[in-house]
Chains A and B, each alone.
Chain A
Amino acid sequence: MQMAAPFFSPPPLCNSQLRSETNRPNWLISPTPFKTSTLSTRRLVCKPPSGKHVREDYLVKKLSATEIQELVKGERNVPLIIDFYATWCGPCILMAQELEMLAVEYESNALIVKVDTDDEYEFAQDMQVRGLPTVYFISPDPNKDAIRAEGLIPIQMMRDIIDNDM
């Protein structure tokens, strides 16, 4: 089986050779025949992902104090995780990465949101936020207490809280 060396701009000569020699589908080439006339047609190296998690923006959304309060008061059947952060807080970056991973893992089984404490100053004050990042885990069950974690915590600890304590 002939391997095409340059993936994205093969010379026309190679294409005709490839088409005539390969009867089986070549994993380098997409199922549709490669047009020699148009070099702009993309060659697919592999099957593209389904697009489930390919987004331009982040999964963890930034919300205002009013929106958070509506979420807390409203009907919910999944845990709510609130991340209080600040623009120039270093560990908040690592926490945000962990929470993005959790958002991908849990999908719609957990609702993860973030609050900029510089924007929502009074809300952060009322929630007794001191060290950053501070994460609140709020169960859908109103009888259960909320869990609050200050500082960077390992992702496994967060999984345990969501799975066992919510």
Chain B
Amino acid sequence: MRSLQASTSYTTSLSSAVPSVANYSPRTLHHRHVISAKGEPTEKSVEIMRKFSEQYARRSGTYFCVDKSVTSVVIKGLADHKDTLGAPLCPCRHYDDKAAEAVQGFWNCPCVPMRERKECHCMLFLTTDNDFAGQDQAISLEEIKETTAGM
């Protein structure tokens, strides 16, 4: 698991914006582990998330985006979070604490909004009435590699 020590001294608006900042000791603020999703995910995780996406699209009656690069990027994001956090946390959100969110599970793919209302703001699973929905419920590993080459 890759992690970065965040030793930034950025504190200008922290005290006003975050009510729980008083509970953090200075040590915690300056040495918080920040897990960054910046590297390439492993091919194994990409394959797992690819298969999951295909199965879930079929099961939920949703389709992939007409622009397959969107689908590929999200699948890689899910794979990356699976590698770093152990769970496929939604890559289209910003979190205060990624590890805690992965344990909590609300935003683990398929997230609660998707399971309850078929709302996927990542544009991975699109209902037929969505303008961006394509005809496919399948995507190959080659397609993922091609469309994310150079990212």
Contacts and interface: CB of A to CB of B under 8 A. Distances in A.
Contact of A151 (B8, B38, B96, B121): B121
A91 interface: yes
Contact of B73 (A84, A89, A123, A152): A89
B73 A88 contact: yes
Interface residues of B, number: 32
Interface in A83-109: 84, 86-94
A86 B124 contact: no
B121 A131 contact: yes
Contacts of A124: 94
A76 interface: no
B94 A125 contact: yes
Report, nearest first, the 6 A-B pairs whose CB atoms are least far apart: A88-B77, A90-B70, A90-B74, A88-B91, A89-B92, A90-B73
Given A90-B91, A122-B14, 7 more contacts: A65-B10, A86-B91, A88-B74, A88-B77, A89-B77, A90-B74, A123-B10
17 contacts: A84-B94, A86-B37, A86-B77, A87-B77, A88-B91, A89-B122, A90-B69, A90-B73, A90-B124, A91-B121, A93-B70, A93-B73, A118-B36, A122-B6, A125-B18, A126-B17, A152-B123
Interface of A: 65, 84, 86-94, 117-119, 121-126, 128-132, 134, 151-152
Interface of B: 6, 8, 10, 13-14, 17-18, 34, 36-38, 65, 67, 69-71, 73-74, 76-78, 80, 91-94, 96, 121-124, 151
